[in-house]
Structure 1
Amino acid sequence: MSEQNLEPAGALLLRTMAMPADTNPNGDIFGGWIMSQMDIAGGILAKELAQGRVATIAVESMKFISPVKVGDVVCCYGELKHMGNTSLALQLEVWVNPVLRHGRPKRFKVTEARFTYVAIDDQGSKRAIQKP
């Protein structure tokens, strides 16, 4: 991670605290938990943009930069990268505010990925996105 990138890209979509129940056998926060928080955050933005139900269809280029610790405030940011006829792609980032850590006073990025969602109707079939 480059230390020059000190600001998250996009809007704050979700903020939560990493808890002991979310740890892996090493005592760090489980990567799957982080990914689920990203999907929740992305789903909120995707639903707003698509003006209705969406389903996650792809996650691309996920990379973990730094571990998350118990007590870290996990912040998910996201922005629209592409909107098609039925799908949209979001770039999501997770940043941590290490409120209980010593030696890391500033927030830092821990992961990022591109999530793709498809707009669906009540039967779960693809539907067109009404663009503004």
Structure 2
Amino acid sequence: MSNPQDPNGDLLMRTMAMPADTNANGDIFGGWIMSQMDLGGSLLANEVAKGPVGTVAVSEMNFSRPVKVGDVVCTHGTLIKVGRTSITVQVDVWVKPVLTPESGERYKVAQAQFVYVAIDKQGRPRVINA
């Protein structure tokens, strides 16, 4: 049985949230979190496609808790579907605070599904060879 504090999927990326990534409230900007998700998801999609991919859609994007400066941000991904030219990846973001009172507790802060398309050298969709 999985613990609710155990992320699903493979660890794709890990980084620390920095002061330059904050919004006007002092929390980490949601666009920065989304970009980390896209980068992580594209790493998994690149492996599956055996080549370059482009992001074509994001669905069911949810932010559940704020991210603070100094939090360790971990992007986890699960392959959902491989189509003829597209790849769908579930991406979850988990945080481990290291500079706040809840240090050591990890929790999920965001989730979304990203759809990538395998592309050729001209940037056109190409068939994914399994």
TM-score range, shorter chain: over 0.9
Give the SS at the match of 1:47.
Answer: helix
1:1-132 aligned at under 5 Å gives the runs: 5-131=4-130
Give the SS at the match of 2:67.
Answer: coil
Q: Could you tell me how far apart the structure 2 residues matched to 1:35 and 1:71 are?
A: 17
In the TM superposition, residue 35 of structure 1 has moved relative to its aligned partner by: 0.2
The amino acid of 1:91's aligned partner reads: Q
The amino acid of 2:37's aligned partner reads: M
In the TM superposition, residue 119 of structure 1 has moved relative to its aligned partner by: 0.3
User: What are structure 2's unaligned runs of at least 5 residues?
Assistant: none
Q: Could you tell me how far apart the structure 2 residues matched to 1:18 and 1:24 are?
A: 12
Q: TM-score, normalised by structure 2?
A: 0.96
Q: Could you tell me how far apart the structure 2 residues matched to 1:64 and 1:87 are?
A: 25
Q: Percent identity?
A: 59
Q: Could you tell me how far apart the structure 2 residues matched to 1:62 and 1:38 are?
A: 10
Q: Could you tell me how far apart the structure 1 residues matched to 2:129 and 2:121 are?
A: 16
Cα offsets for 1:38-85 (capped at 9, x unmatched): 001011110011000100000000010000000000000001000001
Q: Could you tell me how far apart the structure 2 residues matched to 1:103 and 1:39 are?
A: 27
Give the SS at the match of 1:96.
Answer: strand
Q: Structure 1 runs of 4+ off > 3 angstroms?
A: none
Q: Could you tell me how far apart the structure 2 residues matched to 1:105 and 1:47 are?
A: 32
Q: TM-score, normalised by structure 1?
A: 0.94
The amino acid of 2:50's aligned partner reads: Q
Give the aligned length.
128
Cα offsets for 1:61-118 (capped at 9, x unmatched): 0010000000000000001000001001000000001011103531000000000000
Q: Could you tell me how far apart the structure 2 residues matched to 1:29 and 1:19 are?
A: 8
RMSD: 0.9
